[in-house]
Structure 1
Amino acid sequence: MSSVWSANDFDPLEEIVLGTAQGLTPPPADVSLQHFFEPPADADQEQIAPAVLQQVVEETEEDFADLTKVLESAGVTVRRPQPPQASRTYASPDWESVAMHALMPRDCLLVVGDKVIEAPMAMRARYFETLPFRPLLSEYFDSGAVWLSAPKPQLPDETYVYEPGASVVADFEPLFDAANLLRLGRDLFFNVSNTGNRRAAEWLRRTLGPEFTVHEMSICTDHVGTTLHVLRPGLLLANSERLTPDLIPEPLRSWQTIWVGQPEDDGYAFDWPRASTWVGMNILALGPDRVLVPDNQTALMRQLEQAGIEPIPARFRHGRTFGGGLHCCSLDVRRTGELISYL
């Protein structure tokens, strides 16, 4: 029986993969990075001191070590990737880049039941991001998991389209980050955005087959983890700045919603932040009644307590620095529970 089984983000957690900050290499501000992060105009002039970069790496690894202790004390098996080589360059026939990191398995890998899917990411610096996780993927495959990879994209400059009020990725090849997906058993909600297109949603429909329904939505510019979470069946956690009740995906509008106010700002160490303050609501569930929350988000913790959910504070200092929170930097590969429809 496969050691991979996860159909949502709230069933009791049994095994998880945490990323690593080792090898973190800020890439050049090419067209794909500008499209995703929407950095300041002078982003290409950023000079990150080696000492600052090293401090971010060391403190993030300290936070991962603390997080590992919390997870293991809850009975969760924690796995880690091979640390990538820093400043490793690569090229395609059309462009060249540098491997950014192996920090966020949630972005590059999608778990659906017993399947692990390597995502065709739109940022060039993330083209080979799954490679440090390959030994784990091979192990999961040997255990019985289905290991898939979406078509490798070409990512020419024409991929990155700017429309009034939004940026999107062109539809001529499937593109998505796995963090564009909200998983809810037999229903997957796919965020069409600057990191995911409709061709990718259709690729997932055909790949997963009639057992699943892929719903398209557009609730934010990129990943959904700082905008909407399913805490448990019937209960949502939503970003009050980006969403209103009528912007919640229609099948979920009747559910109770906890509206998150402006999160606390934990700052950033580089010249410009890779995430907004809303990375503070990027939470990780141990189960339907226990949730890991960044330890500075006290207001959010009180809201969760009022809903009968135990918040477990976790130190996480550099979410805005590198652009990912507790949910982004982890991948639940095994949760208890069955594959069912909640709608």
Structure 2
Amino acid sequence: MFGSSPKISTNNEWDQLQSVVVGDATGAYKPDDMHFEEPGGYTSGIIPQAVMDLDRFARTLEQEKVKVYRPKQNNFNWGGGMYNYCPRDRLLIIGDTVVDCNMQYSIRNNESKYLDVVLKKAKRILTVPRDQGIFFDAANVCRLNNKLLYLISKSGNINGAEWLADNFPDHEVEITRTYSGVHIDSTFCPVANGLVVINKDRVNKDTLPQCFKDWEIIWLGSEDLPQKNVFAGEAVASNYILLNFFMIRPNLAVIDDAPVLQDALKTNGVDSYVIPFTHSRILGGGHHCVTLDLHRRYK
């Protein structure tokens, strides 16, 4: 359940976390119109394990004095979306503004009703038009203070980047086409101001976005990641989901079981909580995906 209303203000992916939504896998369902090979419910055991993994993650954040909110539970086989597992996909927070995105799969637009702690308490809500050919998932955007890096992919078109530029004129919107799949956060993974982990199998020095030209870069690829097994069901995320980590503050991350990533972060002065997500490939979300940071203390 949601508790007291949080302050909503976040400008980047790394400042000191004050409050956050952590997703919930309860009631997850694969809708018929989202092109799953096997639509319907998930294989027995997947959802209970995911719930336990998410609960452990939430408790860890609470131990770090972060206020944690959880979505309202819903049984999605009754319609109205896919799941509450990845709130990162649904809403985009830029400063104190909440962007109600028009998602790649419009059925997922309904998931916002389970995030009412965000929508009801936001000072400003901008709703992306549903009828003007503009679509993007919130997870197509990486926030870098006064810059927004926008991935054009299956889940975000050029019209989305133009809409953001028009509605956030105080931000520079840079476009990248480095990954044609869906979201940005297993390709570019900021750690702190001036430090970023980048998927070297998707990006090279020639395709590096301008916003990272002066940053220190940790280049990691498939050979640096252990194979994350798919125990049952259809994988919707690649093994690169292991790069999908979440920053509590610039010197503390939450990661999956990825020793090379952990060592690389440690070398750069960043400690890590290691919290494995057993079914992140099946459910399509790592630690960054399953969160929606509401308030980060901006320096």
Matched residue, 1:126: 108
Q: Equivalent residues in 2 for 1:115-264 (5 A)?
A: 115-138=97-120, 140-141=121-122, 145-153=123-131, 173-208=133-168, 210-221=169-180, 222-262=182-222, 263-264=225-226
Matched residue, 1:79: 69
| Displacement after TM superposition at 1:270 (Å) | 3.9
Matched residue, 1:93: none
Distance across 2 between alignment mates of 1:289 and 1:305: 9
Partner secondary structure for residue 245 of structure 1: coil
| Displacement after TM superposition at 1:135 (Å) | 4.3
User: For 1:232-279, what per-residue CA distance to the aligned partner results, in whole angstroms no more than 9, with x for missing partners?
Assistant: 122110112111122110231232110113222222244321100000
47 and 99 in structure 1: CA distance in 2 versus 1, 3 angstrom threshold: closer
| Displacement after TM superposition at 1:152 (Å) | 2.2
The answer to whether the 8 Å contact 1:2/1:114 transfers is no
Distance across 2 between alignment mates of 1:2 and 1:212: 24
**Which amino acid is 2:206 matched to?**
D
- Give the gaps of 5 or more residues in structure 1: 90-97, 154-171, 339-343
Is residue 316 of structure 1 aligned with residue 277 of structure 2?
Answer: yes
| Displacement after TM superposition at 1:200 (Å) | 1.2
Partner secondary structure for residue 23 of structure 1: coil
Q: Which one of 300, 308, 323 corresponds to residue 261 of structure 2?
A: 300
Q: Which one of 84, 90, 96 corresponds to residue 102 of structure 1?
A: 84
My pick for the range that moved more, 309-318 or 103-112, is: 309-318
Cα RMSD after superposing both structures:
1.9
The answer to whether the 8 Å contact 2:101/2:109 transfers is no
User: For 1:126-169, what per-residue CA distance to the aligned partner results, in whole angstroms no more than 9, with x for missing partners?
Assistant: 1312121124421x23xxx212221124xxxxxxxxxxxxxxxx
Distance across 1 between alignment mates of 2:190 and 2:108: 27
Number of residue equivalences: 292
Q: Which one of 286, 290, 293 corresponds to residue 329 of structure 1?
A: 290
Matched residue, 2:18: 14
Matched residue, 2:94: 112
**Which amino acid is 2:228 matched to?**
D
Distance across 2 between alignment mates of 1:259 and 1:78: 31
| Displacement after TM superposition at 1:231 (Å) | 1.2
Distance across 2 between alignment mates of 1:184 and 1:264: 29
Partner secondary structure for residue 14 of structure 1: strand
Q: Which one of 70, 83, 92 corresponds to residue 60 of structure 2?
A: 70
The answer to whether the 8 Å contact 2:43/2:233 transfers is no
Partner secondary structure for residue 78 of structure 1: strand
Identity of aligned residues (%): 27
Partner secondary structure for residue 166 of structure 2: helix
Distance across 1 between alignment mates of 2:7 and 2:43: 36
Matched residue, 2:244: 282
Distance across 2 between alignment mates of 1:148 and 1:53: 37
| Displacement after TM superposition at 1:101 (Å) | 0.8
**Which amino acid is 2:59 matched to?**
K
| Displacement after TM superposition at 1:54 (Å) | 4.2
| Displacement after TM superposition at 1:110 (Å) | 0.2
Matched residue, 2:50: 60
TM-score, length basis structure 2: 0.92
Distance across 2 between alignment mates of 1:274 and 1:56: 14
313 and 205 in structure 1: CA distance in 2 versus 1, 3 angstrom threshold: same
The answer to whether the 8 Å contact 1:21/1:101 transfers is yes
The answer to whether the 8 Å contact 1:81/1:136 transfers is no
The structure with the largest alpha-carbon Rg is 1
